[in-house]
């Protein structure tokens, strides 16, 4: 049976389980369950702390795991990213009281509070900066107000937590993160392939829509240039002489603009429909 680690709490947990459900896997019914077996799909899900997941996977105890790219780097575990999952996107950044530093180059001699001390230590070493790193478990933004540090290094999504703490980001982002699927480097277990294809299917279903329209045959090439599809669009004759029906997948974000452009070309009956699931 394939053994997969899923975050048991925090920002990754709900979205990870929702994605797995969408991919047709059984998920735990209540938050206290530590393990769930999905016998139909021959998969066993282990609910673990997101920070520990790369460690379990690198130790070979579990085949795959969902974690954050930043957590993988922080763990130092020997695991590799197989697939970016597109949720829990964030940047990892330094922040200070406005005016107290312009960037990492000013941090010499300062104290930096963070829950990601390995990422910060590495970044400081690479930048040749001598600063002290203090580990805090969470709510690190408050460390400056309470005098534990002059700088924080933390996950930033909307920036609300920093604003509420009266801090501003300085310097370039240290890294960009999102939820990822990890495995032991170089392993390509055939039992894991259907799982990977299902998750890829969920990602594609969420980011593409199906577009159908009718257009005059003489406009077909221009219309196909707007909707090339993933391989090529399906073109079928219409009962009306000189007209064709076209069907292609298009990126959901661009759908409205493409519909306007097709309309301007003379296409009509332009429809988009959601894709519920797919295998490419």
Ligand X SMILES: Nc1ncnc2c1ncn2[C@@H]1O[C@H](COP(=O)(O)OP(=O)(O)OP(=O)(O)O)[C@@H](O)[C@H]1O
Q: Give whichever of 158 and 273 is closer to ligand PRP, judged by the CB atom.
A: 158
CA–CA–CA angle 139, 81, 136 (5° rounding) = 15
> Residue 143 touches which of Mg ion, ligand PRP, ligand X, none (CB < 5 to 8 A by kind)?
none
Listed residue (120, 99, 113) closest to 143, CA to CA:
113
Contacting residues toward ligand PRP, per CB under 6 A:
11, 138-139, 141, 154-161
Stretch that binds ligand X, among 9-17, 97-105, 197-205, 217-225 (CB under 6 A): 9-17
- Token pair, residue 271, equals 């429809």
Tokens of 78: 């020997």
Contact between 155 and ligand X by CB under 6 A: the answer reads yes
Asked if 141 is part of the footprint of ligand X (rule: CB under 6 A), the reply reads no
Which of ligand X, ligand PRP, Mg ion, none sits in contact with 71, Cβ below 5 to 8 A by type?
Answer: ligand X
Please identify which residue in the block is written with the tokens 């016998």.
39
> In the chain, which ranges are E strands?
2-7, 35-38, 43-48, 64-68, 80-84, 90-96, 111-114, 132-135, 151-156, 168-177, 179-183, 208-216, 234-237, 243-251, 268-274
Our CB check for ligand PRP shows the closer of 14 and 157 to be 157
Site for ligand X in 31-70 (CB under 6 A): 50-51, 68, 70
Query: Which listed residue (54, 64, 71, 140) binds ligand X by CB under 6 A?
Result: 71
3-state secondary structure of 127: helix
Q: Which of residues 120-149 bind Mg ion (CB under 5 A)?
A: 138
Q: Does 75 bind ligand X (CB under 6 A)?
A: no
Looking at the Cβ atoms of 79 and 153, the one nearer to ligand PRP is 153
- How far is the C-alpha of 151 from the C-alpha of 164, rounded, in Å? 15
Among residues 90 and 150, whose Cβ is nearest to ligand X? 90
């Amino acid at each position: 049976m394939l053994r997969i680690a899923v975050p048991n709490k925090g920002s990754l947990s709900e979205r990870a389980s929702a994605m797995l459900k969408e991919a047709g896997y059984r998920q735990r019914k209540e938050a206290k369950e530590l393990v769930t077996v999905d016998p139909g799909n021959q998969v066993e899900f282990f609910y673990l702390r997101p920070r520990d997941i790369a460690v379990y996977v690198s130790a070979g105890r579990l085949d795959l795991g969902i974690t954050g790219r930043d957590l993988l780097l922080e763990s130092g575990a020997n695991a590799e990213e197989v697939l970016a999952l597109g949720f829990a996107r964030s940047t990892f950044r330094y922040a200070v009281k406005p005016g107290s530093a312009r960037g990492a180059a000013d941090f010499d001699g300062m104290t930096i509070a963070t829950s990601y001390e390995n990422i910060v230590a590495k970044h400081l070493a690479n930048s040749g900066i001598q600063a002290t790193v203090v580990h805090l478990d969470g709510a690190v933004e408050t460390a400056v107000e309470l005098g534990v540090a002059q700088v924080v290094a933390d996950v930033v999504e909307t920036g609300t937590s920093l604003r509420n703490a009266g801090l501003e980001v300085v310097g370039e982002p240290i890294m960009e993160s999102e939820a990822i699927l990890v495995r032991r480097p170089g392993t390509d277990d055939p039992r894991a392939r259907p799982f990977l294809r299902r998750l890829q299917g969920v990602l594609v279903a969420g980011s593409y829509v199906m577009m159908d329209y009718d257009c005059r045959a003489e406009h077909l090439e221009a219309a196909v240039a707007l909707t090339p599809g993933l391989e090529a669009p399906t073109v079928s004759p219409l009962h009306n002489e000189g007209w064709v029906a076209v069907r292609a997948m298009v990126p959901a974000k661009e759908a409205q603009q493409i519909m306007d452009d097709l309309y301007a070309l003379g296409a009509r009956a332009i429809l988009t429909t959601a894709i519920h699931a797919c295998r490419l």
